[in-house]
Amino acid sequence: MKLPRAAQVSIAVVAAGLLAAAGCSHQPAFEAGLPATIDTGDRAIAVIGDLQLTSLLPRLVRHRENNALPQQQLLADLTDRVDDLAALVIVGDLVYSARSNRDWAHFDRLVEPFAARMPILPAIGNHDYPCFFIEICNESKVSEGMLERFPWLAPAEPYAVASGDLLLVFLDSESQLDSQGTWLDRRLSEARGRYAAALIFFHRPPYTNSIDRGAQGDPDVLRFIVPRLETADLPVVAFNGHVHGFEYIVRNDIHYVTTGGGGGPRGPMAAERPFDRYAGKDCPQQNGEDVFRPFNYLLLRDEGSQLTIDVRGFCRGDNAVSLLDTLRVPIRSAID
């Protein structure tokens, strides 16, 4: 249920005050550059989403998970594979509050093992803007913390990076999706015959079975982005976050992979999960009714005729991170 405008403003004011009090001076640990291409060789591209930790207010008021320790366990497993990685992709919500220097310091600690060794490529999430309710902000701009680390980012400004026979495309699902849809049309048309497939990264998924989201994906993504994916004349695979868990949904021959299990508070899945092809384990809750998806990240490999996606993760209380599922998505290898 969408809150009335007055309630949104009140919550935003309270949250801003709390977050301002939490901010501490912090010098960015790195400034990433946008590479022209990514040379993977025999290495993988890692994808993770929603690295923000739950702030005190949602934990007290909404009884949301505090996932600080599980996040450490998940990131330790990813760090163990740093020598096998060519790039790290983050599908939005790098921090809980884009205004909090403390949150950015936490993010820097998480990605420090990767920042000096490989490109880090983010898609912008709702928490990465300086105001949670973008539609009521006087200025919609990417936060200073984002720009200090990723200076090429701007609202509604998509970008693309080539990686061998793959084209990696990054959208901002938070604003002006109509104009980005036009840009996406052009890029996918140009990619035909040049690339085996396009991998599209953006924060809000068009489809979900999450109870927290009312089993409804983002309507603007459905309106402006999905039709472009379905009419592209080359294979496309979409990667999203925002829903804190994991889903692998196939609709109209488009593969949608939601990997939002990087630390944000998870929510229950619906009992019926249509179109979801995830074959790994779930995480039953103590009430015996709800089912959460594991904390997770992905490892992508281009194997010519198919894109192999290893899903690694674990449930709270597991002794170790393990391989949960392997997705194999056909891609066309014939290129001009």
pLDDT tens readout for residues 121-147: 999 999 999 875 555 564 567 889 999
Residue 21 lies in a domain: no
What is the pLDDT, as a whole number, of residue 8? 39
What is the pLDDT, as a whole number, of residue 286? 77
What is the pLDDT, as a whole number, of residue 65? 79
Distance of alpha carbon 71 from alpha carbon 112, whole angstroms = 15
Q: What parts of the chain have a pLDDT lower than 50?
A: 1-24, 138
Collapsing DSSP to helix, strand or coil, 277 comes out as coil
Residue 3 lies in a domain: no
Distance of alpha carbon 299 from alpha carbon 14, whole angstroms = 39
What is the pLDDT, as a whole number, of residue 18? 41
Residue 335 lies in a domain: no
What is the pLDDT, as a whole number, of residue 332? 75
Spell out the residues 6+ positions from residue 114 whose beta carbon is closer than 8 angstroms to its own: 79, 82, 85, 88, 120
Dihedral sign for Cα atoms in the order 249, 158, 104, 56: negative
**How many structural domains are present in the chain?**
1
Residue 15 lies in a domain: no
Distance of alpha carbon 273 from alpha carbon 294, whole angstroms = 16
CA distances from residue 207 to 134, 191, 277, 329 in whole angstroms, order as listed? 22, 25, 13, 18
Residue 324 lies in a domain: yes
Residue 1 lies in a domain: no
Domain holding 60, by residue range, is 29-330
Of 34, 33, 35, 42, which Cα lies nearest the Cα of 300? 42
What is the pLDDT, as a whole number, of residue 289? 80
Residue 11 lies in a domain: no
Per the document, the length of the chain is 336
Look up the CATH number of the domain holding residue 88.
Answer: 3.60.21.10
Residue 23 lies in a domain: no
Spell out the residues 6+ positions from residue 113 whose beta carbon is closer than 8 angstroms to its own: 79, 82
